[in-house]
Structure 1
């Protein structure tokens, strides 16, 4: 029975998972007196559950000519078409928004971006916030599984930086001829699901212990594990968990810095120690450098203003910088409750370009974080370091082993290509948004927020908070597709447009 289910088309399985997921907000709505929302989500479960069964019966014997191509196109459809189904109960429950806004909200959640059209999120019921967080949580798990089961064999999603040719001139693409992607999806899902669910439960319980309400703690736990930054309270400033809640969340940010924290040994190249992982070391280095820079900036600003008030204010400024830097580096977008306290302490506002740069850098490959990814930044850093060495010693020979040389050469080459594609994507989205009437400065922040899947940038990085509800509908559609592009990455989209990929 299980083998028959896993043999169904990937998109059908995603539809079934989305339909079953509607039961959670339905039960929560019924338990908390939000009967309208609970009833709508239950009807959605029944309607889309029946639709999924009918489609499953119609496609039970469907066998695509290329399973790898089929799963890659399904990923594209999952982030564009599936949110239509997920948006229906949300749209009906809210009642006062257009279906485009509801679809935008679901695309934003499922791509773990976390941008929202609601300027006052507390006006929504907790059942609707739970659904937003749950959709983002499912999208984060899909990214975990798809990165290892689909993108890794195709040398996409950052794996191309460390890939090495197989004997005989082949590549990792040949793995798809040996291991069926459907089998890989089932195997990796079974291995990763207990880890993903267990980490979410641990963080949920920890946040409740620190004083947070159960439903808000669950929403924040899902938002941290998926790096969606979705909150029912408008951020951590209004959360009841306080400093210890932020401390606990900071620990869980590590799962967005390196895939070795949860998937060590699942891919052949992932057997090294976490402390030796270049992504983890690069991420920790950025945390120390950027946090130190921000703290010293506020410290000297406080001295100039003669407003140094004591060790407590300095510690709060340091902690607010550390937590917020880690949050935006992992593209979560949570702002520490002490973040603005640092500005009050020194009288200096923190430049939004720092947060934009952190979001552009992003977290580790095969994690829920977006951005350029730390491994690509590491490859460019090592290549630059080697070039500087050659300026001093032109005939020197680079050491550190074969893998290091491959990262400095081929890895840096493909990383630079991706970086240029990412930069061109930002320019393209900015131009498209400007043509719809969005101001140039706002279009830049929105483009980076969408492509790096860091929705809270729109509220924090700009000089004044950007209201997504106030931009034209065409601009919302452009942002939604930019989120999909940022989630799948440009190389995956280009692979779909490659004629050889369809011909073979």
Structure 2
């Protein structure tokens, strides 16, 4: 919270005292809780406690993270402030702010850095923190992102997490420098770098990235959104000049192919309806496809005013997601690929019932329990989407807004369709709806199972 104070001092804003008091208060409360529980035996913490700690940890971060906005008065409603910061930590990017530029710079920085923290948060929780609680970080991580366990590049999971964070920092720094070359000041450059690498989508401008009309700047955003949507182990290999894993990685090739095909589809459908020249049509199509697939949620124009098919196509992109082991939300490319390939092979199994035909990725057979996990994830994801859309409809939202809000919050994307489209926000929604959507953000960010297991009766049985 206090990290934004230097910007508050530089811009002579009125949020210095607020950030200082709330940051200090949070630290004191955390210290008190540590003092009261310092003698707790680590052996008392098992898997169930670990899941509960992870879920409640994100909730508590958001409960405290909302306080500076309320104390300052920038967001008077605590429900609104909680929604905004939950959107930050979960890297959703959905906002209730009607005038973002009216916020003081310190609070804007806190808003952006919340996404940067949340972007790598799930990986750190899986690889670094959970082993301390007696939970195998890589085992849980494999349940969330199948096929990733073989890509561990250090035998100790804590060292793996450190290397991932190192890559994260390097990419964030590189984007900041490149954006400054494009004319952005340090404040705007670092804030947008935070939210790009986190695939979060928060901006310091009311028009989002449409404010920056530079072609160069838009391509920088596209490149780093693409990087953020990649498996971070590939970045590690690239930094060590090892490019063979890129050729062997089925998911990465499918990721690139999908982005290319989706961009061509949008160009083909969109261009006859507008006067964009070829390069601009390509850039706008690529920008929005990469933004939505990687769940970043940046917008450079109102795609709801594009060709009628575009709205439906962009809505479908809310369910895709980037690569496993990235900072993206939603379902993830690898799960789609596994479901597609398993479905295709099931046809072969029907013809050859005695044949053993495993699903292979990167020339390695995928264990049946991983396939079952992915299938269960798909069913739960769609079920939660349908149920939440029905609940939002009962709360008064029209059909398009209900499905748009459910899909974008569950997928941690940001912009949806209807009254929560790319140039709108969530401020007009009732408080109850904002609480429901905040829960969907949390469920989506923690990959469903981590949160939902707490609500199963067996979780509470000895």
**Contact persistence 1:256–1:368 (CA under 8 A):** yes
**Contact persistence 1:161–1:379 (CA under 8 A):** no
Corresponding residue of 2:144: 158
Aligned to 1:441, which of 382, 400, 406? 400
Corresponding residue of 1:120: 99
Shift of residue 454 of structure 1? 0.7
Shift of residue 429 of structure 1? 1.1
What pairs up with 1:39-78 in 2 under 5 angstroms? 39-64=17-42, 65-78=44-57
Is 1:261 the counterpart of 2:234? The answer is yes
Corresponding residue of 1:278: 250
Corresponding residue of 1:93: 72
Residue 454 and residue 96 in structure 1: after superposition, are their counterparts in 2 closer, same or farther (change >3 A)? closer
Is 1:457 the counterpart of 2:416? The answer is yes
Corresponding residue of 1:27: 6
What pairs up with 1:281-430 in 2 under 5 angstroms? 281-299=253-271, 301=272, 313-336=277-300, 343=306, 348-349=307-308, 351-389=310-348, 398=357, 406-407=365-366, 409-430=368-389
**Contact persistence 2:87–2:94 (CA under 8 A):** yes
Give me the whole-angstrom Cα distance separating, in 2, the residues matched to 1:452 and 1:407. Answer: 25
**Contact persistence 2:395–2:433 (CA under 8 A):** yes
TM-score (norm 2): 0.86
**Contact persistence 1:156–1:492 (CA under 8 A):** no
**Contact persistence 1:161–1:415 (CA under 8 A):** no
Give me the whole-angstrom Cα distance separating, in 2, the residues matched to 1:327 and 1:402. Answer: 26
Larger radius of gyration between Structure 1 and Structure 2: 1
Give me the whole-angstrom Cα distance separating, in 1, the residues matched to 2:295 and 2:26. Answer: 32
Give me the whole-angstrom Cα distance separating, in 2, the residues matched to 1:187 and 1:417. Answer: 31
Residue 402 and residue 119 in structure 1: after superposition, are their counterparts in 2 closer, same or farther (change >3 A)? closer
SS of the equivalent of 1:492 reads: helix
SS of the equivalent of 1:114 reads: coil
Shift of residue 203 of structure 1? 0.7
Aligned to 1:129, which of 108, 129, 143? 108
| Structure 1: gaps (5+ residues) | 1-21, 165-178
Number of residue-to-residue matches in the alignment: 445
Residue 237 and residue 398 in structure 1: after superposition, are their counterparts in 2 closer, same or farther (change >3 A)? same
Residue 408 and residue 154 in structure 1: after superposition, are their counterparts in 2 closer, same or farther (change >3 A)? closer
Residue 362 and residue 461 in structure 1: after superposition, are their counterparts in 2 closer, same or farther (change >3 A)? farther
Q: Deviations over 1:442-499 (max 9, x none)?
A: 110000011000112258984x855411111101100001110111122223434456
Shift of residue 74 of structure 1? 2.0
Corresponding residue of 2:174: 202
Q: CA RMSD in A?
A: 3.2
Is 1:238 the counterpart of 2:202? The answer is no
Shift of residue 110 of structure 1? 0.5
Aligned to 1:107, which of 86, 89, 94? 86
**Contact persistence 1:83–1:107 (CA under 8 A):** yes
Give me the whole-angstrom Cα distance separating, in 1, the residues matched to 2:253 and 2:437. Answer: 32
Q: Deviations over 1:390-449 (max 9, x none)?
A: 577777764886975743854443322211110000012112212222222211000001
Shift of residue 218 of structure 1? 1.0
